[in-house]
């Protein structure tokens, strides 16, 4: 088994510049920047599912897109199978995109309403094309069946399908090129509970059938934990903890992770259990706290935390945390 990770993210940051007034920009030289992703380093091994969790403004979706260069990283490098994606020319990038795909959250926004399902699913083949019409039709037919849709659906349009079915179409489109790596950006969040279960099961099966590697992004921690091998926790653009799923659930080390896991209402828990509630809201990414970004809400914050930002360190093999308390 090849020991090099399939995906290697090194110190990636993504900053968004916001519009400033003329005076602010040229007289005061003030530029408002949202540091959506700050200095993230992680790797994903072939065949693995890395889950990425965090709340609003943590930057998880932005990171997923930055890896694929759907957002250009402001700093840092991304390596796919040892090739540097961030240094590629448009042509080289196009070639590598065959192997790196994305499934989007919104099954209503991510499909072109004016194209038939067949056209939508076939488009990636045409873009990267070298197949005959017959070969393309066969591939479309095959993937459509694999995702649980029927051949008669192919001539229909997105609006004729339910959310769950549309998500299947999005999955078919992502997988038709038989990629190696798929970024799944909140793929089930917009669906009813019983349909979520169907799509989760489908994604697990397809991963096995196609030997895929997933980056699974979601705010629903139970879903992420079910599908993932390892989980990374983000807060305000930074990676605060990363570990194997069972290790993270049994032994969360970062105060934020502890509160996050504790906040999830559990089905088996009849009647409320006392929990530590975080004070206030998540700070604005425009104006993040100094030092450790979590210190303003941390139940265990020390003086040091408001001054110096902690570094991500490996405390237990395979378990990295960014916290002064350790």
Beta bridge partners of 182: 101, 214
Q: Which is nearer to other proteins, 91 or 269 (CB)?
A: 269
CB of 238 to other proteins, least distance (A): 17
49 closest CA partner among 262, 321, 232, 249: 232
Q: Which is nearer to other proteins, 131 or 197 (CB)?
A: 197
Q: How far apart are CA 172 and CA 191, in angstroms?
A: 17
Residue that has been written with the tokens 């090849």 in this structure: 2
Farthest-apart Cα atoms in the chain, separation: 68
Distance from the first to the final alpha carbon of the chain: 34
CB of 204 to other proteins, least distance (A): 9
Q: Which is nearer to other proteins, 57 or 291 (CB)?
A: 57
Count CB neighbours of 109 within 10 A: 10
Q: CA angle, corner 212, sides to 210 and 216, nearest 5?
A: 135
Share in percent of the chain as helix, strand, coil (round to 5): 35, 20, 45
CA atoms lying within 13 Å on the CB side of residue 67: 31
- Is 57 within 8 Å of 72 (Cβ atoms)? no
Chain residues binding other proteins by CB under 8 A are 55-56, 162, 164, 192-198, 200-201, 219, 221-223, 225-226, 245-246, 249, 259-261, 263-273, 275, 277-278, 280-282
CB of 19 to other proteins, least distance (A): 17
Q: Which is nearer to other proteins, 136 or 245 (CB)?
A: 245
CB of 192 to other proteins, least distance (A): 4
Strand pairing of 49-53 and 230-235? parallel
CB of 151 to other proteins, least distance (A): 19
Beta bridge partners of 102: 183
Q: Which is nearer to other proteins, 12 or 224 (CB)?
A: 224
Q: Which is nearer to other proteins, 178 or 201 (CB)?
A: 201
CB of 62 to other proteins, least distance (A): 16
Tokens in use for 247? 């290790």
Q: Which is nearer to other proteins, 271 or 317 (CB)?
A: 271
CB of 266 to other proteins, least distance (A): 5
């Amino acid at each position: 088994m090849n020991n090099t990770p399939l995906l290697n993210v090194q110190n990636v940051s993504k900053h968004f510049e916001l519009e400033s007034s003329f005076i602010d920009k040229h007289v005061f030289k003030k530029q408002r920047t949202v540091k959506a992703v700050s200095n993230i380093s992680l790797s994903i091994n072939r065949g693995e599912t890395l889950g990425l969790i965090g709340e609003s403004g943590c930057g998880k979706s932005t990171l997923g897109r930055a890896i694929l260069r759907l957002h250009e990283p402001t700093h840092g490098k991304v390596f796919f199978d040892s090739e540097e994606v961030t240094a590629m020319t448009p042509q080289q990038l196009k070639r590598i995109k065959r192997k790196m795909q994305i499934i989007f959250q919104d099954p209503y926004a991510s499909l072109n309403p004016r194209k038939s399902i067949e056209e939508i699913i076939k488009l990636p083949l045409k873009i990267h094309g070298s197949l005959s019409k017959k070969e393309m039709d066969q591939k479309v037919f095959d993937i459509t069946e694999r995702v649980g849709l029927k051949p008669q659906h192919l001539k229909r349009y997105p609006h004729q399908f339910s959310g769950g079915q549309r998500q299947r179409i999005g999955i078919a489109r992502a997988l038709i090129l038989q990629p190696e790596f798929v970024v799944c950006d909140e793929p089930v969040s917009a669906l009813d509970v019983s349909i979520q279960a169907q799509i989760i099961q489908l994604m697990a099966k397809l991963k096995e059938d196609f030997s895929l590697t997933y980056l699974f992004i979601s705010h629903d921690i139970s879903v992420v934990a079910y599908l993932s091998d390892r989980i990374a926790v983000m807060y305000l653009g930074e990676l605060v903890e990363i570990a194997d799923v069972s290790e993270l659930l049994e032994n969360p080390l970062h105060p934020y992770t502890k509160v996050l896991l504790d906040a999830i209402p559990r089905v088996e828990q009849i009647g409320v259990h006392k929990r530590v509630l975080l004070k206030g809201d998540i700070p604005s990414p425009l104006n993040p706290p100094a030092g450790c970004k979590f210190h303003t809400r941390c139940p265990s914050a020390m003086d040091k935390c408001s001054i110096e930002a902690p570094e991500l360190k490996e405390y237990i093999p395979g378990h990295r945390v960014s916290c002064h308390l350790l």
